């Protein structure tokens, strides 16, 4: 079954489309968490970041940067977040790859706090974490 975003791509359901090319589409997020909140979506139904190849990821991020600059120019926000949720535990609700561009006007616009665990892991443990990632590259 098609995802909700594929339905938008195929014009089966409406959306406020901002940009489109062969590989990606961008439209306003229906929730408008903040004024100008935009989604950049792959046209192919990749489920998450782990399915992306170099070509689509490079192109996608180029479009994200282009649109971020346009949103910045259009609305003059005080800041801007780039967000991508992968997996239900990370807050993903639509399983079709997309990046949120969220212009920020106030600190209270969006609640997203990173726990600060600085100092909890030993240097040895941190080195083990680096090595685990490096050996998976």
Minimal CA–CA distance to 58: which of 66, 31, 122, 27? Answer: 66
Tokens coding 15: 């959306």
Q: How many CB atoms lie within 10 A of CB 99?
A: 22
Q: What is the DSSP letter of 133?
A: H
Is 4 among the residues that bind ligand 5GP (CB under 6 A)? Answer: yes
Q: Which segments of 53-121 does DSSP mark as H helices, in order?
A: 54-75
Binding of residue 111 to ligand 5GP (CB under 6 A) = no
Contact residue for ligand 5GP among 91, 121, 129, 131 (CB under 6 A): 91
Q: Which of residues 7-36 bind ligand 5GP (CB under 6 A)?
A: 15, 27-31
In angstroms, give the least distance from the CB of 109 to ligand 5GP. Answer: 14
Q: What is the DSSP letter of 35?
A: T
Q: Closest separation between CB of residue 116 and ligand 5GP, Å?
A: 24
Q: Which is nearer to ligand 5GP, 15 or 71 (CB)?
A: 15
Contacting residues toward ligand 5GP, per CB under 6 A: 4, 15, 27-31, 85, 91-94
């Amino acid at each position: 079954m098609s995802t909700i975003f594929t339905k938008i791509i195929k014009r089966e359901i409406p959306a406020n489309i901002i940009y489109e090319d062969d590989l990606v589409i961008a439209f306003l997020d229906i929730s408008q968490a903040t004024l100008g909140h935009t989604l950049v979506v792959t046209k192919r139904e990749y489920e998450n970041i782990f399915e992306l190849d170099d070509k689509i990821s490079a192109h996608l991020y180029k479009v994200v940067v282009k649109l971020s600059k346009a949103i910045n120019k259009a609305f003059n926000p005080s800041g801007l977040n780039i967000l991508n949720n992968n997996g239900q535990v990370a807050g993903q609700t639509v399983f079709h790859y997309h990046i949120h561009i969220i212009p920020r006007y106030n600190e209270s616009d969006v609640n997203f706090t990173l726990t600060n665990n600085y100092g909890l892991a030993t240097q040895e443990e941190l080195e083990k974490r680096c090595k685990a990632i490096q050996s998976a590259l």
